[in-house]
């Protein structure tokens, strides 16, 4: 039984990895189910054993990526020593560090997702992330209200809002990528946007100025490739 489950997951992950590779090189819209089946080298029936449609595969792909990130985030949430502010900072720091460590993948994703042909792919990923992450952020905002370090009248709506504006920010920045490390003006512009986001979130949740550090130098390593 364990053996069968393992085989099931392995084949499914093989489909997901192959599809992701094709989406990144050819674009989501341009990749057919037939091309995915051909690249994996199995029968048509095998694909439809795992996925209803290409969109269903996409949903499962984004679910897998988010689930991986959520493992680290849940350990932050379960650390009783952290305050609400520390929790919020830790989630952003963990996410930033993950991006810095996987720079090539992140840069490829940014450039592919933010092309016009991949609007639907980007849109679905955002919606999925909102669903998974917003309850986590909302819980932290409630905690911050209780601890007196935040002042948020609508925690649930504000949580979705912070994530949506984060996505808006990334969208604005992604258009300027990749940045040459020598392009001092370009790097300064990205930093200005990131600092503005940090300050905006601080103000929206009513936290002390300077209490959030959502932006760290690992982000600059991502956008410039400096290490």
The answer to whether residue 114 forms part of the interface with a copy of itself (CB under 8 A) is no
Cα separation of 105 and 15, whole Å? 18
Cα separation of 178 and 48, whole Å? 37
Nearest in space to 159 (alpha carbons), one of 147, 148, 145? 145
Count CB neighbours of 30 within 10 A. 12
Which residues ranging from 46 to 75 are in contact with a copy of itself (CB under 8 A)? none
CB nearer a copy of itself, residue 172 or residue 181:
172
Per-position x/- string for 187-216, each x denoting binding to a copy of itself as judged by CB under 8 A, each - no binding: -----xx-xxx-xx--xx-x----------
**Helix H segments across 114-154?**
119-147
The answer to whether residue 169 forms part of the interface with a copy of itself (CB under 8 A) is yes
Q: Note if the bond before 209 is cis, omega within 30 degrees.
A: no
Q: Total residues contacting a copy of itself (rule CB under 8 A)?
A: 27
CB nearer a copy of itself, residue 172 or residue 213:
172
Per-position x/- string for 116-135, each x denoting binding to a copy of itself as judged by CB under 8 A, each - no binding: x--xx--x------------
The answer to whether residue 27 forms part of the interface with a copy of itself (CB under 8 A) is no
């Amino acid at each position: 039984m364990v053996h069968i489950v393992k085989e099931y997951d392995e084949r499914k992950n093989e489909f997901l990895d192959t599809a992701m590779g094709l989406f990144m090189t050819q674009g989501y819209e341009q990749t057919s189910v037939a091309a995915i089946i051909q690249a994996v080298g199995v029968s048509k029936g095998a694909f439809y054993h795992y996925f209803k449609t290409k969109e269903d595969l996409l949903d499962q792909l984004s679910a897998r990526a988010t689930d991986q990130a959520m493992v680290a985030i849940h350990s932050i949430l379960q650390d009783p020593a952290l305050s609400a502010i520390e929790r919020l900072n830790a989630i952003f720091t963990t996410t930033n560090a993950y991006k810095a460590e996987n720079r090539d993948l992140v840069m490829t994703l940014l450039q592919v997702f933010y092309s016009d042909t991949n609007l639907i792919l980007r849109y679905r990923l955002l919606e999925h992330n909102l669903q998974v992450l917003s309850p986590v952020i909302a819980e932290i905002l409630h905690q911050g209200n209780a601890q007196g370090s935040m002042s948020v009248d609508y925690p649930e709506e504000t949580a979705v809002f912070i994530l949506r504006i984060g996505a808006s920010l990334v969208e604005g920045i992604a258009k300027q990528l990749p940045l040459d490390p020598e392009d001092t003006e370009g790097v300064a512009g990205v930093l200005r946007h990131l600092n503005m986001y940090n300050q905006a979130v601080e103000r929206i949740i009513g936290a002390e100025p300077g209490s959030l550090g959502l932006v760290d130098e690992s982000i600059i390593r991502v956008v410039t490739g400096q290490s």
